[in-house]
């Protein structure tokens, strides 16, 4: 089962878009899809800030995962661009992160899709011909309908 939200926005609208994502997300696992330079990290930085995090947010391109403090919980920010196979994710304990109840924001999540058995929100971003972003938020529930 899935639900969709479609947003077209400019770079000045990032804060409003981040708020809409938080309001409409059905899980704490946000998967970000889009080409290099489309604005995934910028949007994630804004989401983390709106959630109340005071930590400095940066892209975890080389560290693979950054951990941010959020009151009594955490936010895990992944950038899996440099990961070549799923075995590499096991080496840094991806299962423990995915099993946590904390926020998880994941850039380039394609490699770990087979591990995603719970609900998640898929965020696809594309740049259109007017240099605006077209964002689709798709809630994916993997639980059977009752």
Query: Which CATH code for domain 2-140?
Result: 3.40.50.300
Please report which confidence band the pLDDT of residue 133 belongs to, taking 50, 70 and 90 as the band edges. very high
Q: Is 86 helix (H, G, I), strand (E, B) or coil?
A: helix
For the chain, percent of residues with pLDDT exceeding 70? 95
Instruction: Report domain extents, the chain.
Output: 2-140
State how far the Cα of 121 lies from the Cα of 49, in Å rounded to an integer: 19
Q: Distance between CA atoms of 141 and 121, rounded to whole angstroms?
A: 9
Burial of 22 (0-12, 13-18, 19+ CB in 10 A): middle
pLDDT at 146 over 70: no
Pairing, β 29-33 against β 103-107? parallel
Q: What does 8-56 look like in DSSP terms, one character per residue?
A: EE-GGGHHHHHHHHHHH-SSSEEEEE--TTSSHHHHHHHHHHHTT--SP
Reported as a single tens digit per residue, the pLDDT across 27-82 is 999 999 999 999 999 999 999 999 999 888 888 877 899 999 988 899 999 999 99
Count of other CB atoms within 10 angstroms of residue 77: 29
């Amino acid at each position: 089962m899935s639900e969709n939200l479609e947003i077209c926005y400019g770079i000045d609208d990032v804060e409003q878009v981040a708020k809409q994502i938080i309001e409409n997300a059905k899980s704490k696992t946000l998967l970000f899809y889009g080409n290099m330079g489309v604005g995934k990290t910028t949007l994630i930085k804004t989401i983390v800030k709106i959630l109340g995090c005071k930590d400095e947010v940066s892209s975890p391109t080389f560290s693979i995962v950054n951990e941010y403090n959020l009151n009594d919980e955490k936010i895990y920010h992944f950038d899996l661009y440099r990961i070549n196979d799923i075995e590499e994710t096991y080496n840094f304990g991806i299962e423990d992160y995915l099993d946590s109840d904390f926020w998880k924001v994941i850039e380039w999540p394609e490699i770990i899709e087979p591990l995603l058995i719970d609900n998640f929100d898929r965020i696809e971003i594309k740049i259109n011909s007017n240099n605006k972003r077209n964002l689709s938020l798709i809630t994916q529930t993997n639980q059977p309908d009752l």
